[in-house]
Structure 1
Amino acid sequence: MELFQHVRQIQKFKRRLWMHQAVANCNGKIWFFVEENVDVEILFDTAQQVTLKLFLQEHNRYLITTLVGGDFNVVMNEEEKIGGVPLVPQDYEDFAFCINSCDLFETGFKSSPFTWWNGRAGDDCIFERLDRIFFNSQFQQWFGHIEVEHLSRTGSDHAPHLITLGEEVQIFIKPFRFLKFWIEHKDFLDIVRPNWSEERYTWFSEGDRNTRFFHNLVNGRRKRLQVNRIQISDGEWIEDKEQLAAEVVNFFQQQFSQEEGTLDFGMLKHIPQMVSSEINDLLCALPSQEEVKNVVFELKRESACGPDGLSGTFFHSCWDIVGMDVFRMVQDFYEGHTLPKSVTHTNLVLNLKKSEVHTFGDLRPISLSNFINKVISRVVHGRMDKILPGLISSN
């Protein structure tokens, strides 16, 4: 932070921030505060930059990773500035390229999105995010949870940053994902054949009672980046995990729920019947083995996986092994059998609309279906595609 304070005031700010140690660079313009379980040694000290060596007492080891932070005097995009001369990409592209080249990244932040204010009001007021903290991947792997908070500006026109490390993070079971390079292994098909033959059609006919086939393939864990705080409709920020879970469910239920009301189908009597019995028979006919195979190979190999983790690549590469079971499953659907949840379940994925998530409106939900579910939909689509031109007016 760019200080308007003499270095002799550092101890006062240390107490105000409830920190154990305070360190300043050679000209007293860069201040660094740490808690009591961290030992600090200055390795390189200049008027503009300081390099520190940290010893973590709790882990009994030195921090041999990269953390870079401070006033970079540049923003990363147009959203990080309000007021003043408008930005153009040339103003920040070099900085963004440098950060990417160094394999550094951020983990988001709490509080105000701007860290610097020019101290003026009205049309002359400018807010920018000039200060930030970057980490490398090793840093995150070590600590798991990293939280950066922009504190209130005190004694400076820049906001100090508080970094919290190593708090407990929720562990998720890693879902199974079929990896494309597996098909290149010389024993790939020899491994699939006995495992698929052992389970065979039971994964569909037994439905939700049989998930062992998928869970036995991969058993791993991973840590995911999470949304740690969100702003709800009344402007309040919430951070409690249970509240966050309840709010996200409530938000998207409202987005995708239909308001109660009586539906009036009376207008349908004014629409002429266009679907003949012959067309209906075509739509409802049991699909042939060739029709199902053609649909499977028309679908993209690399399309996103659903909950079962099996991509088009798997079904294309293993068709001689799994093809008959897929065909029988599609036929069962056309014969009126209820599809089990192991087939109909989808993954709801929230994609970012913006680089920083403030509200649930900054997230775009997409649904990822199992490949088998896509096959059924594609068979229906292929049949409808043939008859719709005769049913839909050109006007």
Structure 2
Amino acid sequence: MSSIDPMWRLTCVYGELRTENRQRMWNTIVDLKNRSNLPWLVVGHFNEVLWQHEHMSETKRPEPQIRVFRDTLESCGLVDLGFTGVPFTFNNNQSGRKNVRVRLDKAVAIDSWRDLFAETEIKHLTTPCSDHSPIGLTLIKETSQPTVRKVRHYEIVWEKAPELEEIIANTWASLEHNGDLASKFYQQKLEDMSRDYFKDLFAADPNITPDEIVDLFETKVTNMMNEQLCAEFSDNEIADTLF
């Protein structure tokens, strides 16, 4: 930041784990708001949601504790900056009805800060190493016009492939660390692995049973109803249909 850039302040938060202690954090945010008139950005793990739809679970989140958080931000003039990516930043990684996904991490700012950084973007990132996802904050969009070329993206799923480490080691060893050549060859190997991975992504896996999902469906047709549906047609039913 140069001397001519406007000053603003940043507050990073990590929310209280216990619900009964969360009011302390809300009081601290209000206190920080009253200490300065500078443009203000607050970002981090609030451990709370603004709306019920941000809590994706079979059990609803208590509405009063959501309302207290929302009222705190409104009283400070802090506005949710939104996001791109998956709609949650926490996933307990359990299956079926036990799964809980919540948007606990956010970036909020007052209007004067939003005026300074109108192009701000918040992105929910992904990681295979934690049940919490980091968020990325971009203040200024890239304005340069790069040369048109094929863009290759690193896929996080590659890290789960057991053959990845062997491919990297063999590639570098066979090419004797020839920079440009190794880079191109390594790139091709990753492309091949990615293509092989996604080729059968939506194909049926004979090793996976659908019972875990099917068991979640509520029964709509009773055994008695099923017997009636499977019964032989009577003469009266045939006559009513034809005549």
TM-score (norm 1): 0.27
> Relative contact order (alpha carbons < 8 A, sep ≥ 6): 1 or 2 greater?
2
Higher strand share: 1
